[in-house]
Structure 1
Amino acid sequence: MHASLSLRRRLAVGLGATAALTLGLTACTSNEEPPATTAPAASAPAPAAGGNDEPGDKIVIGFSGPAADHGWLGAINKAAIAEAEKYSDVELKVSEGTNDANLQISHVETFINDKVDAIVLLPTDGAALTDVAIKAMEAGIPVVNVDREFSSTFAARVTVLGDNYGMGVSAGTYICERLGGQSDAVVAEIAGIDSLPLTQDRSRGFEDALKGCGLSVSNRVAADFTIQGGESATAQLLSAAPKIDAIWNHDDDQGVGVLAAIETAGRDEFFMVGGAGSKNVMDLIKSGDSVVEATVIYPSTQAADGIKLARLVAQGRSMGDLVETSVPRKIQLYAPVVTKDNVDEFIGSAFES
């Protein structure tokens, strides 16, 4: 069976607290003006005139991210640029993507020297970019930190994160739902780069969710978020495990190699859950002609959300759907499970591997 009402309820309860805010960034409908026949109370505040998407003061936002050598990172960059283009009051300065932390530091220093109004930064390495981000903040330039956190809270005005732990919880909950009651089920895991905190968080969430239904990871390998790494790690896994009931692969980009290894081995006795939410995986889910049955979203909208938030902060606006008058300090996005039942809701914004 596919994701049931029970699964949706469990995910909503289990992840609601860590998902933080999925609120829209425009004014809510309760701010609409009353009918002309009704006079507003003298003490009532003026309604929002068109909401936060109405043009404001002209601002310049600097954007820097890693090299787009991965489908998800390419989607991150494209979405950020597309979001900025929606606003006539935003000029976006984009630095060339790089995986060299020192070069990215110099890009941020250029933004500081240019006196941009805000910086959106997806760092190659959060710790390495912390000092220059603090320098920008001390210069009065608000920094929006995306995806990879800085090592100091003083380095960013706003941090936008995916939910790595929540991804693991979502994947484990789905597998528990599918294998219900099979205490002897063999569950395998194909992780990303084990030294990264994000991989560790995903694995921890997965393990915690499986414990809830009496399952555990029987076989585990780590790849490197590349197609080649996914293929070699999966070949190793399949060789070591003659029987598997379910696999969670952390990353849909490396999943291209994972699926190649599965095809080469001629194995199809299991179902697989992906991670991140690529279009090619969603196409397979929709077709039903694959071992891939679901994937867990790791939003590629994070930098686009960062652009939108940087605009609000630089223009002194608030988030229209909140009572709070300031943009929150940290926003964590939700990690929903995509199945054949709901794939049409997500496929339009999926990235290409």
Structure 2
Amino acid sequence: MRLRRTSITRRSRAMTGLVAGAVAALTLTACTGSAQDAENENNGDDTPVAAAGSNDEAGDSVTIGFSAPAADHGWMAAITNNVKALEDEYPDVDLRIAEGTNDVNLQISQVETFINDGVDAIVLLPFDGAAMTPIALKAMEAGIVVVNVDREFDDPNAARVTVLGDNYGMGVSAGQYVCEQADGNEDAIVAEIAGIDSLPLTQDRSQGFADALAECGLDVDARQAAEFTVESGEEVAANLLQAEPKIDFLWNHDDDQGVGVLAAIENAGRDEFVMVGGAGSANAMREIQDGSGVLKATVIYPSTQGADGVKLARLVLQGKAMSDLVEVEVPRTVQLYAPVVTSENVDQYIDSAFES
């Protein structure tokens, strides 16, 4: 069945969000500069400006708790591993990392322990954002800074800062890449292998993809949903390839399930189409570097979100800001960018990519 869903409002918001996300992503990593730069930013007025270059200097000692789901997926494992990598980077941070769990009740118990221990901040990637909202509110009411990562709470008051990837933007980036490669061919056949369809993140990715394709006169001709696993990716891809004798472009939402998708493609002996991945695994990037297969690009969904959350919690607790901004406080929401990785820029991203 052919799908065509066009939303001018969503597209406009996506383009605005992508620009804002790019700025936010840059400021997360570009927190250094000279004191003179900060003075110049002030332009002679009385607005206080965070001292540029001070963010990585030691500040007051702080205790930060971190909790995330189980590392049963390459991307999720990278989330926690990137947080652990900060332990030696900041001697002024006592980082307490709870064991990853997909049990909501256990994760609630972990946060309660952090509250009872009197930590200064909690960085939380919820297994279920709605279920974790009440305990996050309790932490905030106790005066603990909460940073919400990736899966949003139901109540914005449950977090001081929210760090997000850009699921809709992922779809937009993938769709724009397909449009560029189609180069005006409105008869190109586009297929999509999504993740878990009941998740808002999957719905957002698909909507962004459809909206971007509509800009160049394309739509999704065949779509099936998998479950973000290697096994489901292989099964769903095999079914799709059997049902579709010709495909020009295939977008797979997730590089972990993409391991199975690529296996199904190889087993089917299909190579007539261009495949785009999602999330940005090192496995996918090595395939892109090799260049001999169908996978030619992947769209980043940053696995740095947890580590970014810890860094932002530290800044809030130490009274610092993001020093490239004139704003003297850390923003309430930071959305990271979803760039497309191809053979032309893969070297820029592969060192920080996660293993599927």
TM-score, with structure 1 as normaliser: 0.91
Name 2:219's counterpart in structure 1: 216
Deviation of the 1:85 alpha carbon: 2.5
One-letter amino acid of the structure 2 residue matched with residue 179 of structure 1: A
1:260 is paired with a residue of what secondary structure? helix
Which of 340, 345, 350 lines up with 1:342 in the alignment?
Answer: 345
One-letter amino acid of the structure 2 residue matched with residue 149 of structure 1: E
Structure-1 separation of matches of 2:37 and 2:274: 52
Which of 10, 15, 26 lines up with 2:18 in the alignment?
Answer: 15
Name 1:204's counterpart in structure 2: 207
Which of 109, 119, 135 lines up with 1:106 in the alignment?
Answer: 109
Name 1:24's counterpart in structure 2: 28
Alignment RMSD: 2.0
One-letter amino acid of the structure 1 residue matched with residue 283 of structure 2: N
Q: Does 1:52 align with 2:55?
A: yes
1:181 is paired with a residue of what secondary structure? coil
1:176-200 CA deviation, whole Å, 9 max, x = no partner? 0001111111000000000000000
TM-score, with structure 2 as normaliser: 0.90
Structure-2 separation of matches of 1:328 and 1:45: 16
Deviation of the 1:289 alpha carbon: 1.1
Name 2:9's counterpart in structure 1: none
Deviation of the 1:17 alpha carbon: 3.9
2:82 is paired with a residue of what secondary structure? helix
Structure-2 separation of matches of 1:283 and 1:179: 24
Is the Cα contact below 8 Å between 2:122 and 2:144 reproduced in 1?
A: yes
Q: Does 1:173 align with 2:169?
A: no
Name 1:195's counterpart in structure 2: 198
Q: Does 1:238 align with 2:238?
A: no
1:160 is paired with a residue of what secondary structure? strand
Name 1:301's counterpart in structure 2: 304
One-letter amino acid of the structure 2 residue matched with residue 120 of structure 1: V
Deviation of the 1:19 alpha carbon: 4.7
Distance 1:14 1:159, change over 3 A: closer
Is the Cα contact below 8 Å between 1:26 and 1:53 reproduced in 2?
A: no
1:242-300 CA deviation, whole Å, 9 max, x = no partner? 00000000000000000010011110100100000000110010111110000000000
Distance 1:190 1:58, change over 3 A: same
- How many residues align structurally? 336
Q: Does 1:153 align with 2:171?
A: no
Distance 1:79 1:317, change over 3 A: same
Pairwise mapping of residues 4-153 of structure 1 onto structure 2 (< 5 A)? Answer: 15-17=18-20, 19=22, 21-22=24-25, 23-24=27-28, 27-32=31-36, 48=51, 50-153=53-156
Is the Cα contact below 8 Å between 2:122 and 2:146 reproduced in 1?
A: yes
Is the Cα contact below 8 Å between 2:149 and 2:163 reproduced in 1?
A: yes
2:24 is paired with a residue of what secondary structure? coil
Structure-2 separation of matches of 1:344 and 1:15: 22
Is the Cα contact below 8 Å between 2:67 and 2:98 reproduced in 1?
A: yes
Structure-1 separation of matches of 2:165 and 2:272: 32
Distance 1:215 1:67, change over 3 A: same
One-letter amino acid of the structure 2 residue matched with residue 24 of structure 1: L
1:215-266 CA deviation, whole Å, 9 max, x = no partner? 0000000000000000000011001100000000000000000001001111
Distance 1:284 1:26, change over 3 A: closer
Structure-2 separation of matches of 1:18 and 1:118: 24
Distance 1:337 1:90, change over 3 A: same
Deviation of the 1:24 alpha carbon: 3.3
One-letter amino acid of the structure 2 residue matched with residue 309 of structure 1: L
1:114-135 CA deviation, whole Å, 9 max, x = no partner? 0000000000000000000000
Structure-1 separation of matches of 2:275 and 2:122: 39
Structure-2 separation of matches of 1:200 and 1:20: 25
